């Protein structure tokens, strides 16, 4: 819901103020290989590259734009040429995600870029769980322009019932309660569909304690959604598990 509202805002501002473009630089600071995935929201055209092996790259993003980025890990190609990843696979069977989203659990960076340097919005989202530490930082711009980071190794502290493990027993990602239990009190649905009836749970508090500047559940908006004006560029960095 939040993403749809923000994207509607960007479209309205486009007609009023015109457009600009932004550069998003994504860097892998992990010791192992990761593959980037990205998804443009609201059924708009996807970026020219929707998935690739990542060292460091810069993407030119036209505005308005609303979408998300994530890192896929432990990826491989089988004998038939099918590409799959152990975490955050996008189900395309290719290196490119081709408009598919990430399979949870996944650490997401979400960005809404508005036209002509108006107010952008961005966040780190752990509502569907965690696989890698990540940070996002505006480059330039005006206003608060906070650079949130989720640098903790959430996998190492993940509750047993939320752990995703390899066949050898290594924890490679951490589900949210929303994904693991699919119950209204964790999904903020049904009788729990408002901020009053869907408060933080012990599980969302766990994620919040690990990464205070990331979304931990659906109604974290007041203190987890960041903004920056003046047409900044953005730097996203996937960090090593400590």
For the domain that residue 102 is a member of, what is the CATH number? 2.60.110.10
Secondary structure (3-state) at 14: helix
Instruction: Assess if residue 61 is contained within a domain.
Output: yes
Number of Cβ atoms within 10 Å of the Cβ of 166: 10
Predicted confidence at residue 11, as pLDDT, reads 39
Instruction: Assess if residue 21 is contained within a domain.
Output: yes
Domain with 106, as residue range(s), is: 2-152+214-238
Instruction: Assess if residue 164 is contained within a domain.
Output: no
Instruction: Assess if residue 121 is contained within a domain.
Output: yes
Instruction: Assess if residue 204 is contained within a domain.
Output: no
> Does 210 have pLDDT greater than 90?
yes
Predicted confidence at residue 104, as pLDDT, reads 97
Predicted confidence at residue 116, as pLDDT, reads 72
Q: How many domains does the chain have?
A: 1
**Per-residue pLDDT reduced to its tens digit, 137-149:** 999 999 989 999 9
Contacts of 129 (CB under 8 A, 6+ apart): 104, 105, 106, 107, 162, 173, 174, 175, 176, 179
Read off the pTM: 0.88
- Helix (H), strand (E), coil (C) string for 95-128: CCCCCCCCCCCCCEEEEEECHHHCCEEEEEECCC
Which candidate, 162, 163, 241, 171, places its Cα nearest to that of 202? Answer: 162
Query: Residue 104 in contact with residue 203, Cβ under 8 Å?
Result: no
Instruction: Assess if residue 34 is contained within a domain.
Output: yes
C-alpha–C-alpha distance, residues 184 and 63, integer Å: 35
| Backbone Cα Rg of the chain | 17
Going by the DSSP 8-state scheme, the letter that residue 105 receives in this structure is S
Higher pLDDT, 152 or 44: 152
Q: Find the range with the poorest average confidence among 3-7, 53-57, 143-147, 160-164.
A: 3-7
Going by the DSSP 8-state scheme, the letter that residue 41 receives in this structure is S
Instruction: Assess if residue 59 is contained within a domain.
Output: yes
Q: How many residues does the chain have?
A: 242
Instruction: Assess if residue 33 is contained within a domain.
Output: yes
Going by the DSSP 8-state scheme, the letter that residue 12 receives in this structure is H
């Amino acid at each position: 819901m939040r993403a749809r509202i923000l994207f509607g805002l960007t479209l309205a501002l486009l007609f009023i103020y015109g457009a600009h473009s932004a550069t998003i630089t994504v860097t892998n600071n992990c010791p192992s290989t990761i593959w980037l995935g990205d998804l443009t929201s609201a059924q708009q055209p996807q970026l020219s590259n929707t998935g690739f092996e990542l060292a460091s790259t810069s993407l030119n993003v036209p505005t308005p734009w609303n979408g998300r980025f994530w890192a896929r890990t432990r990826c491989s190609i089988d004998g038939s040429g099918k590409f799959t990843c152990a975490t955050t696979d996008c189900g395309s069977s290719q290196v490119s995600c081709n408009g598919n989203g990430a399979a949870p659990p996944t650490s997401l960076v979400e960005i809404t870029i508005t036209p002509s340097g108006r107010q952008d919005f961005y966040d780190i989202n752990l509502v569907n769980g965690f696989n890698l530490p990540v940070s996002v930082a505006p480059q330039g711009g005006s206003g608060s322009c906070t650079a949130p980071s989720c640098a903790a190794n959430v996998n190492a502290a993940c509750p047993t019932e939320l752990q995703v493990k390899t066949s050898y027993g290594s924890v490679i990602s951490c589900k949210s309660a929303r994904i693991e239990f699919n119950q209204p009190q964790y999904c903020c649905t049904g009788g729990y569909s408002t901020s009053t009836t869907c408060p933080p749970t012990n599980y969302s508090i766990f994620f919040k304690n690990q990464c205070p500047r990331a979304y931990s559940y659906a109604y974290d908006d007041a203190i987890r959604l960041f903004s920056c004006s003046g047409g900044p560029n953005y730097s996203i960095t996937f960090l090593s598990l400590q």
